[in-house]
Amino acid sequence: MAKLGISTGISPDDGQGDSLLVAGAKINQNFNEIYNLCGSGTTLAPGIVTSLLAGTNISLSGSTGQITVTSTAAGGVWQETGAGINTVANVGFGTTNPQTALQVGTAISFTNTYSQFKDGIVARYGDAADLTIQHNGTNSIIKSDTNDLQFHTDELRILDNAASETIAVFSKDGAATFYYDDTAKFRTTGAGTSTIGISSASGGFVGALTGNVTGNLEGTINSTAISGFGGTITRFKTTNVDGSLGISTFGTVAISTDFTVGQDATITRNLKVSGITTFSGITTTGTDAFVARNMSVLGIMTATTFSGPQGGNLQVYHGTGGGASKIVEVTGTGVTMTSGKKLHLSGYSEQVHDMGTLSAGSHALDVSTYSTFVATINGTTGITFTLTGQNPARTYSGVLVLKFTGTGTRSITFSFAPKWSGGSAPTWTATAATDIVSFFTPDNATNTYFNVLGLGYA
């Protein structure tokens, strides 16, 4: 609106000027124009700009009325286009002197759900781009050019893309576990490693093999490949091209299941077998042969010491195939010869059971373990001997050595009513001396026959 002037006439009170009503209306309209321009229409703004100062790359034209602001930088510092606002200068956040296109001097907080980098855009970390992360359109790549790439966590779990299957788990103070199709197959332990399933090596296993091997061990084993072996092979099958057994070892081999050798077997140290073993050739062991179950030798077998079994009996046969006959059987209680067979012994000796000085009461003569008993008896101590350990199907004989100390009438009785040679028991020596008797029972101590070997040995 153009400014409204008040007509005052030519001379005072000539009646040609605006009336007071018209003049007042013009004044109000002029003020309304000012209040609308410099305020809210009813209230003026707090202050009025009285001067403008041009900054860097800015020029001002006009000193009164309308002032024109012009950018003097090439292309302008900020430019608004249909795509947004852009600038050719450096932009800084938290810094007054940005040295790159975008320099951030403070932390950035993202309130959106993600920050997106397009294919081929590389995120660089470090003064010399020591670590870079990118997706090149095909693969996602993390590259570290300086020292280690470290993950600091108490448990690192690698999952598939859908986060539905585990690929590997690495735990602090625990196992590193590798999975196949979401099933653990290889795991480190405090003692070494554990393989769940079949372990195979196309180039073979090299170096010392220690510990237990369970499952099937196939291939050729020699003293180099199994050097230092100290565990147990529960089942193995090794076959050379010619069909012979392909195993050679200078340690101890323990076998808990079937073990069959079709040709000669030579063992330079111990052979421990807890399963069924069959040899059809010549078997020689340099030291001991230990069998915990059945062992069938169809050829010649020699051993420095042949021991076993722990659970079953050791049976020795003579002959071949179905015509072989049992000669002797070793049980937990002793050795049984087959009826009609003979046992030839050289350098035979027996273990003596020294019962020590006996106190008054009953004392057992265990004929299942010993056949010679030595007892020391002081003075008139009352002693009763019992017979234990006998088998109804066997006969037993033994020798009882009585060493008397002190003097007096001896009090010696037997709970199994012995039958003495001559019809009566001897009178035991009353002085410090030794009396010796022998005994024999053919019927589980129903009848036990005693004979005096000598009395009063000084």
Q: For position 201, what pLDDT does the model report?
A: 74
What Å distances lie between residue 133 and 123, 130, 144, 298, 359, CA to CA? Answer: 5, 10, 9, 72, 91
Residue 88: name the closest of 72, 75, 69 by CA: 75
Q: What integer is the mean pLDDT of 58-62? A: 75
At residue 223, the pLDDT reads: 41
Task: Give the whole-number percent of the chain exceeding pLDDT 70.
Answer: 71
Residue type, 13: D
277 exposed, middle or buried (CB, 10 Å; 0-12, 13-18, 19+)? buried
Q: Which tens digit of pLDDT belongs to each residue from 370-422? A: 999 999 999 999 999 999 998 887 889 999 999 999 999 999 999 988 999 99
User: Picking from 104-118, 130-144, 285-299, which range would have the lowest pLDDT averaged per residue?
Assistant: 285-299
Mean pLDDT calculated for residue range 92-121: 84
CA distances (Å), origin 455, targets 80, 153, 373, 402, 431: 135, 88, 16, 9, 11
Over 90: is that where the pLDDT of 25 sits? yes
Lowest pLDDT segment from 40-54, 302-316, 323-337: 302-316
Higher pLDDT, 392 or 63: 392
Q: What does DSSP say about strands 176-180 and 166-171: parallel, antiparallel, or unpaired?
A: antiparallel
What pLDDT was estimated at residue 400? Answer: 97
Residues 114, 115, 118, 120: is their CA dihedral positive or negative?
negative
The pLDDT score that the predictor gives to residue 437 is 97
Q: How far apart are CA 189 and CA 210, in angstroms?
A: 15
Angle at 250 between CA 249 and CA 251, to 5 degrees: 95
Convert the pLDDT of each residue in 43-59 to its tens digit. 888 766 667 777 766 77
Contacts with 147 (C-beta within 8 Å, 6 or more apart), sequence order:
none
Position 336 scores a pLDDT of 81
Domain ranges of the chain: 1-9+16-42, 139-197, 206-337, 352-457
Choose from 3-17, 113-127, 132-146, 317-331 the range with maximum mean pLDDT: 132-146
Residue 24, φ and ψ in degrees, nearest 5: -65, -40
What is the predicted pLDDT for the residue at 68?
A: 76
Mean pLDDT of all residues in 341-368: 88
Extract the runs of DSSP E, i.e. beta strands, from 379-410: 382-388, 396-405
Residue 36 has pLDDT above 50, yes or no: yes
Q: Which residue has the higher pLDDT, 258 or 84?
A: 84
Tell me what pLDDT residue 270 has.
59
Higher pLDDT, 162 or 301: 162
Q: How far is CA 357 from CA 270, 385, 400, 418, 426, in A?
A: 42, 14, 14, 23, 21
pLDDT tens across 256-270, in order? 556 666 656 666 555
- How far apart CA 425 and CA 439 sit, in angstroms, is 12
37-75 in b/e burial notation, b at 16+ Cβ within 10 A? eeeeeeeeeeeeeeeeeeeeeeeeeeeeeeeeeeeeeee
Residues forming beta bridges with residue 405, ordered by sequence position: 378
